[in-house]
Structures are given as C-alpha cells and as structure tokens.
Amino acid sequence: MQRPAPGAEPRWPGADRCPPSRPVVRVMIVDDSLTARTVFARMIEADPALLLVAQASTAEEALGRLSTCSPDVVLLDLEMPGMGGLEALPQFLALRPSLQVLVVSSLTEAGAWHSVRALAAGAADTMLKPVPGSFGGNYREQFTARIRALGRRDAASTGRDTCPQTQGWPPSRAPRPGKRPRVVAIGASTGGVHAINAVLGGLPAEFALPILITQHLPASFVPVFARQLELVSRRRTIVGEDGQRPAPGEIILAPGHAHLTVERRGEQIAVALCSAPSPSGCRPAVDPMLSSIAEAFDGEAAALILSGMGRDGVLGAGDLVRAGGTVIAQEPLSCAVWGMPKAVAQAGLAAAELRPADMGPWLSLRTGSAEWR
C-alpha cells in the first residue's frame, strides 16, 4: 500500500465503504495530532481484521461523519481544541448506541482523571498514548487486539443469537443457594469501570459488607479510580495496602502493581498484596483475589464477574463456588466485551446472569441484614 507523503493525511483502502465479504472491524480515529493519527492509522492498516473508515481532527468533524462511515470502534483523544473528547463522548454514544469507544490518554494525572471519567461515562477501554520508540512490538499487539475484541464484542454478538433475552430483575431462574455472604468481590476489565459504577449505584446506603475490586487499569489510574468511585458510591474507597482489614461498607481496590488478596491473621482477615504470576498473566488479576476470599471467608462471599477480555476470574470463581460461595456474571448484551463473564457462565459457575444495574438489588436481597463480623 502506498504510504502518505510527509505532512499528508494517510489514505486507506475502503475508506468510504466496508466490503461485505470482509468480516472486519470498522475503525474511526479522532485526534487533533496528525502524528498520532498517522501512527494509529498504520497500525490499523497492518491488521487485516481492521478497516480504517475515517479520520477526524476534531470531535465536531467526527460527529458529523459518524452516520456515514458507521464505525464499530472509535479511537478517541480526550484533549482536543474546541469540543473535547470527554464532552463529545455522550453524543457519540447517543448517535450510535452500539459504538465502542477506546480512549487514548497521556500519562499525566489530568489524563488519568479524564480517562476514568470517560470510562465511567460509557467508554469501553483506555490505552496510554505511545511514547517514541514504543510504536511496535507489544504496544502494537495490545492496541490491535483491544480494537478487535471491542469491535467483535468477544462473541457477545453471538450471545445475542444463542442466549435468552434476559434479564431484568428478578432473574428468570432462581440462583443456586450458597452461603450467606460476608464480603463482596468484583472482577472486571474492558468495559468494567462503567459496569462497576452501575453496580454500586444500585446498592442502598445501608449495605454493610466490605467490597473488594480488581479492575484491570494502568497503575497510574488506580488512585484516580478510587477517588471517582468514592464520589459516585459515597463509600470510603481506598487502594489496597498490605495488612489493611476490610471494614463495613468500605471499598478496597487492587493496586496496579499487585494482586489484591486476603488471608487470616489470627482472628482477623487482612489484605495481603501478592505479586506472583497469575494464570491469566494479568497483574492485578481476579483469580488470586477470588481464591483467597474462598479460603479466608470459607466461601461466605459473593463475586460479580463483569465485562472484560479473556478468562481472568474463572479459576478463582471455581474455588469460590466449591467453597460454597455465589458467583454472578454480567449478561452478554450489557458487556463491552463478553469474555470474562462468558468464561464463568460457560463453566457452569454463574448462579445467574444479570445486568450491572440489577446486581445491587440482588446483593441487597441476598445479604438481607448481614453485617460484617
């Protein structure tokens, strides 16, 4: 393919239409930097599963072209002249509800705060902007893999055809009875920030159990995520540190550099950060958190597996169910990527599949007046 001359906008095959014979993911780039657009365009063009259908240097231009180019995924910069990406995001989702938005952010506190706000508002995932010298190798592979998963929803579209239409509250089938929970664990990845906000928004103020959360995020984003969750949930939210004791109604987040696990220390249960490799290769990972909770709480726990790529959480969910705990999976139609919940559901570990907004009422009903002890 002919590459663009220096300073010129890249050209790409099929920019005006998607060949019906190619099962590709249609991508739009929205970034005011010509350099960034060129770098991203070349990575997309090199992947036969992706088709670059449009580029825009402003959010206003992108919104005007959205209906004609029909992208599956928008790569969105948040800091642009005029209408910023954060302001434009709700309009993108209103015009095209099935759209998946991948936010690209700078490695700054302001960039992290804006990115977390975008994820809470409905963006599916975020990636840090590459620095010079990092455009190939692992960055390229992660970048294109995330776009492919978002565009195909990791078989969530298949789920539309093969899964029953759920799934409001209450669930259509009674969940398997399990031990009464004394703690709640939430595991999530791509699309998880928005889902976690919906779960916490459905909890009553008097809900008294500790909540442990492992969300795959860049390490620099975790303190910002903690502040955002505290504002939304009106619950004390902290980043996990070794030796902390989970407290009633408190939220503890996995830090970006270690797994959030718990262990018995005498008569008490305390946080124990762990950096050992996990089966999923993620750090932090959901599996170690759930496995440790199954042991420390003797299965008296409820776990929610939310939207995310891959299978992280399925092994820990198995440990929890065998110990007598209960696992709920996010139903496919509400997932940005139906990967982690799918693995749990297909393994027969999910007591029910619910939308995030319905999980709070389920937890309230399941726990009743349960208190931390």
Contact assessment for residue 178 and residue 324, using Cβ atoms and an 8 Å cutoff: yes
Dist. CA 165–CA 100, nearest whole Å? 21
Dist. CA 351–CA 329, nearest whole Å? 8
DSSP 176: P
Which residue type does 12 have? Answer: W
Q: How far is CA 317 from CA 33, 171, 310, 362, 372, in A?
A: 43, 20, 14, 18, 22
DSSP 155: G
The per-type count for the chain, helices as H runs and strands as E runs, is 12, 14
Catalytic residues: 189, 216, 312
Look up tokens 């700054």; give the residue: 108
C-alpha 14, offset from chain centre: 31
Six token digits for residue 43: 């990575």
| Bridge partner list, 330 | 354
Q: How far is CA 30 from CA 35, 46, 201, in A?
A: 12, 19, 31
Six token digits for residue 117: 């706000």
Dist. CA 10–CA 7, nearest whole Å? 9
Q: What is the dihedral of CA 277, 281, 284, 290, to 10 degrees?
A: -80
Dist. CA 215–CA 229, nearest whole Å? 12
**Which H/E stretch holds residue 87?**
helix 85-95
DSSP string spanning 265-283?
ETTEEEEEEE-S--TT--S
| Bridge partner list, 326 | 302
